[in-house]
A and B are shown apart, each in its own frame.
Chain A
Amino acid sequence: MLNNTVALLGDGAPPAVGDYESIATTVVGAGGSATITFSGIPSTYKHLQVRILAQNGNANKNLSMQFNSDTATNYSRHLLYGTGASALAAADATVANADAYISPSGGFGAAIIDILDYANTNKYKTTRALGGYDANGSGWITLASGSWRSTSAITSISFSNFGSNFAQYSSFALYGVK
């Protein structure tokens, strides 16, 4: 399994001028990737947004998100989700990752994740996510809010999917909002 780490310095792509800027993008190649990491995130933006179109390599539709390599149970989350048959809610007070949903193997799902005030050293970090997948007879749609109980500025974001690879052509794009 491969770990893809995208360094933000010297990637050769200057950001576009404006209040919403592309910071880095990675597209998974042949063979898949176990983890996607954006590192060296500058603190010059106000908020971050991650836009994802991805597929897990197994039946799991969860997308795990962690900050600054923190793998401890410093996260919490609330979910409102629809299965196509039922509207449900879930919450976890002390977990090891924030969460969104993409797609299990066989299709691609999307997630748009906002990380608000990510560089503020006086606040815990709050995330919100809209995501899900549809496979013409199955699927999930999810609204999620998350918290990372740390006042550290976020300098890295890692995505993984609980023991499987992200499939080829999965894409992760990080944007900064001024």
Chain B
Amino acid sequence: MPKTYEPIATTTLGSSQTTVTFSSVSGSYTDLVLVASFSLANSVYQPILRFNSDTGSNYSATALSGNGSSAVSSRHTNQNGIYVNPGAGTGSTLAQPLIWICNIMNYANTTTYKTAVNRFNNAGNIVNAEVGLWRNTAAITTVSLTAESGSGDFQSGSTFTLYGILAA
């Protein structure tokens, strides 16, 4: 019997990379949790969460951010992925990585659109909470994170782990 909360796969980058993909995700869990600790050469650009290789305008999100001087809320509609605002910093390092925890809820059901609730932390300049929607009832079998063009890609040493949570 699988554990209730267990790692499915983990990746540590040996060199910079644009996209990290977890494919053939088993449908036997209830929720997925993606934990990413990474750096971008230029963190002005946003990492992008996508499912099942869908790059169509099928995503949207509502976000809440604080940058140390003000709190704002933003909305993104008809996007080609779930974006997160990494803040206006000029870059990040592995000594002070960006942290992104994505809870992908009931990912394997074929009845509802897919909802992800996320926390993002850049100790350099922003804290962020976000809820994203993928307007598709298909079970999620692939989860990918892509570094937005211009960001300099996810840097070597960045780590990405996908966990599965199994409800009774």
Residues on A lying within 8 angstroms of B by beta carbon are 11, 13, 15-18, 20-25, 51, 53, 80-88, 107-112, 130-137, 139-141, 143, 169, 171, 173, 175
Contact = CB atoms under 8 A, between A and B. Distances in A.
Closest 9 CB pairs of A and B: A82-B73, A82-B64, A84-B75, A139-B62, A87-B71, A136-B60, A132-B131, A173-B167, A22-B168
B115 interface: yes
Nearest to A84: B75
Given A136-B78, A137-B60, A169-B112, A16 B166 contact: yes
A139 B82 CA distance: 14
Interface string B20-58: 000000000011000000000000000000000000000
Contact of A107 (B5, B77, B113): B113
Contacts of A141: 62-64, 73, 117, 129-131
A71 B152 CA distance: 54
A53 B168 contact: no
A171 B111 CA distance: 12
Contact of A53 (B65, B105, B119): B105
Contacts of B5: 18, 20, 175
Given A20-B4, A22-B167, A87-B66, 12 more contacts: A51-B103, A80-B71, A81-B73, A82-B73, A82-B129, A88-B73, A107-B133, A109-B115, A111-B117, A133-B131, A139-B62, A141-B62
B132 interface: yes
Nearest to B127: A143
B103 A110 contact: yes
Interface of B: 1-6, 30-31, 60-66, 71-75, 77-78, 103, 105-106, 109, 111-113, 115-117, 119, 129-133, 135, 165-168
Contacts of B66: 87
Contacts of B115: 53, 108-110, 133-134
Contacts of A133: 62, 115, 131, 133
A13 B4 CA distance: 12
A12 to B, nearest CB: 9
B3 A173 contact: no
B99 to A, nearest CB: 14
Contacts of A51: 30-31, 103, 105, 165, 167
Contacts of B75: 84-85, 137, 139
Contacts of B62: 82-84, 132-134, 139-141
A40 B111 CA distance: 31
B77 A18 contact: no
Contact of B167 (A25, A82, A108): A25
B168 A173 contact: yes
B4 A108 contact: no
B3 A25 contact: no
Given A20-B4, A86-B73, A143-B64, A136 B167 contact: no
7 contacts: A16-B3, A25-B30, A51-B105, A87-B64, A107-B133, A109-B115, A133-B62
A135 B112 CA distance: 12
A16 B2 contact: yes
